[in-house]
Chain A
Amino acid sequence: MLETVVQAVINGLLIGGIYALVSIGVTLIFGVVKIVNFAQGEFVMIGMYISFYLATQFGMDPIVSLVITMPVLFAAGVLIQHFLIRRVLGPNDMPQIFLTFALSLLLLNLALMLFTANYRTVHTFYSDEAFHIGELNIPVAKLIAFVVAMFLSGALWVFLHTTDLGKAMRAASQNRDVAMLMGINPNRVFCVALGIALALAGAAGSLLMPFYSAYPFVGQVFVLMAFVAVVLGTLGNVIGALVASLMMGVAESLGIQFVGADSGLIVVFAMLLLTLAFKPTGLGGGRAR
């Protein structure tokens, strides 16, 4: 019994690392640019397809293909901010919500047209390997994904706290108007925020590829998790999003283990509704940092 629980917690933590990459992106964009990117999941999907084609066409390992997916998606983020999102930043919610929502619909349906709804998988030499510690199983592919995800999150934290650009981004997220008065160029900061967020989503896609199938709707699973984690971890709070994502992974995994294989999503929704009912400002208590 105890081993089953520990195993479920381990599985949850490992997948939670991937959720964290997606949620950190969502919360970073929300904190700095003050919009919600509904298309974040679709960039995970794009990252997966890039890794899939690099693996099948050029035999590149999906984890190695991070060095391609991350820069490509960083560039995509900068372009999307510069040509699309910049034009709808105003006091009105409607254009912001429905622009990124339209982008999500567009990318999803383009993927459906180009790649069809088939599931694509990449089989690597470590896809089926696992470490055994007593009764416990730790799949190698998921462990690599978790470690790289934590490394990337840590790198982002260091970037936000030590570099000038990172500090400028935190300043813009705390008080945009004052940050601008201090001479911070908002569009440059926003472009970098979008770029980093999308690069993290692309990284999540590459890391998933050795043990998860790519299909056009795959992003929806991750973006839903990310939205819940971002509310739970207090909007705009990077560390909150990280912790909440790991919690969501564990909660989902325990739900699958003890309630039934198809109840993972029900647990997620239940967590969202409970958060809204009792702690709408999130666990961090309403402060963005």
Chain B
Amino acid sequence: MMFGISTRVWLLLAAGAAVLIALPLVVTSSFAIDICIRILMFSFIGVAWNLMGGYAKQLSLGHAAYFGLGAYTSTIMQINYGISPWIGMVAGGVVAMLASLPIGWLCFRLRGPYFTIATIATAQALMLIFLKFRDFAWGAEGTTIPNLGNAPLMMQFEEKAGYYYVALGLLALGLAITYQMEKSWMGYYLVAIGEDEDAAEAIGVNAPRIKRDIYLISSFLTALAGTFYTQYIYFIDPATAFSFNISIEAALVSIVGGIGTLWGPVIGTILLETTSALLQSWLGSSLGGVQLTVYSLILMAVILWRPTGLMGIMTEWYQRLFRRRSVQT
């Protein structure tokens, strides 16, 4: 027993980690590795969203704000001052945390759907501001990141496997934080707020403080993904860094996978990103809108028939299997 996890689960986790670490050694196709990297990164963003959106049910559709702030902080530091993106990544996280305080102060004045709308508006407003910053952040044209060849200290790798391991590390960090949070008093407070905020406050949960704290953590993590993605695609502009699609995907993977569960965002991302990759290889990029059409149909199906998401379905299957076995013995 370590951290309250049984030996069997530790062995399972170790085996899973070994497979994931060995994967880039086996899979050499750059297309396949790219899909794996996207899955890891969007799982991580989903995990960051899920901390606040899943457990405390503060359904944000504005996480692109923090993704973009992380991306811009590290890029500005790297290009203007030559500071490594590894440092820039943490700095970006801190900038995102600082930004989440006033944004949260405004948005948390509203509840439910209007909280969601306020988060959309703040993310869009940030994008507009960065479009205006011509001398400071390259305006609408954006900029490319100078290619330094193989420079792990500057978060640049010749092999895609390098990026794969960075994304894997980020996801592991996100899952570890979620796991710790789930077991702590904070996790229970968050679930209580998510179930019924007024009732939680009535029994003494300081809801505004808890919501502020989880927003800080969630925005910090989302910003790390922003830095990573910019380094991975070697390009930044307001439309990609503050893309509404990032906010959508963060929420979608968690809801489809299972909102408010540890592994939900990961499972949701695997389903959605695989679907998207398959669609792309079947149809090519000729038909705009296909990917999001399919995503929205999946989302509707989940909401109408399985609000607990894929995790709910899997738990049900597991229980059915388990019950049948126990009947037989």
Binding site for B on A (CB under 8 A): 35-36, 38, 84, 87-88, 92-99, 101-103, 105-106, 108-113, 116-117, 216, 224, 227-228, 231, 235, 262, 265-266, 269-270, 272-273, 276-277, 280
Contacts and interface: CB of A to CB of B under 8 A. Distances in A.
B281 interface: no
A269 B125 CA distance: 6
- Judged by DSSP, the binding face of B is helix
A95 B128 contact: no
B25 interface: no
B125 A273 contact: yes
Nearest 4 Cβ contacts at the A-B interface: A112-B289, A36-B113, A109-B289, A105-B296
B296 A276 contact: no
Interface stretch (B6-14, B81-89, B299-307, B318-326): B299-307
- Judged by DSSP, the binding face of A is helix
B113 A35 contact: yes
Nearest to A36: B113
A97 B116 contact: yes
A231 B124 contact: no
Contacts of B113: 35-36, 38, 93, 96-97
Contacts of A38: 113
Given A112-B288, A235-B114, A269 B121 contact: yes
A105 B121 contact: no
A110 B251 contact: no
A107 to B, nearest CB: 9
A273 B121 contact: yes
Contacts of A277: 106
Contacts of B211: none
Contact of B303 (A88, A266, A269, A270): A88
A113 B289 contact: yes
A236 to B, nearest CB: 11
Interface string B264-301: 00000000000000000000000111101101110110
A116 B290 CA distance: 12
B109 A280 contact: yes
Interface of B: 57, 59, 61, 106-107, 109-110, 112-114, 116-118, 121-122, 124-125, 128, 131, 248, 251, 255, 259, 287-290, 292-293, 295-297, 299-300, 303-304, 307
Contacts of B304: 84, 87-88, 99
A217 to B, nearest CB: 11
Contact of B296 (A109, A216, A272): A109
Contacts of A224: 121, 124
Contacts of A102: 296-297, 299-300, 303
A106 B122 CA distance: 24
A272 B118 contact: yes
Contacts of A98: 59, 251, 255, 299, 303
Given A106-B296, A272-B118, 20 more contacts: A36-B117, A95-B303, A98-B59, A98-B299, A98-B303, A99-B300, A102-B296, A102-B297, A102-B299, A102-B303, A103-B296, A105-B299, A106-B297, A109-B292, A113-B288, A113-B290, A231-B117, A235-B114, A265-B124, A265-B128
A113 B106 contact: no
A262 B184 CA distance: 47
Contacts of A231: 110, 114, 117
A93 B116 CA distance: 11
Nearest to B251: A98
A94 B307 contact: yes
A78 to B, nearest CB: 18
B128 A266 contact: yes
Contact of A276 (B59, B118, B287, B292): B118
A156 B110 CA distance: 28
Given A106-B300, A269-B121, A276-B118, A97 B59 contact: yes
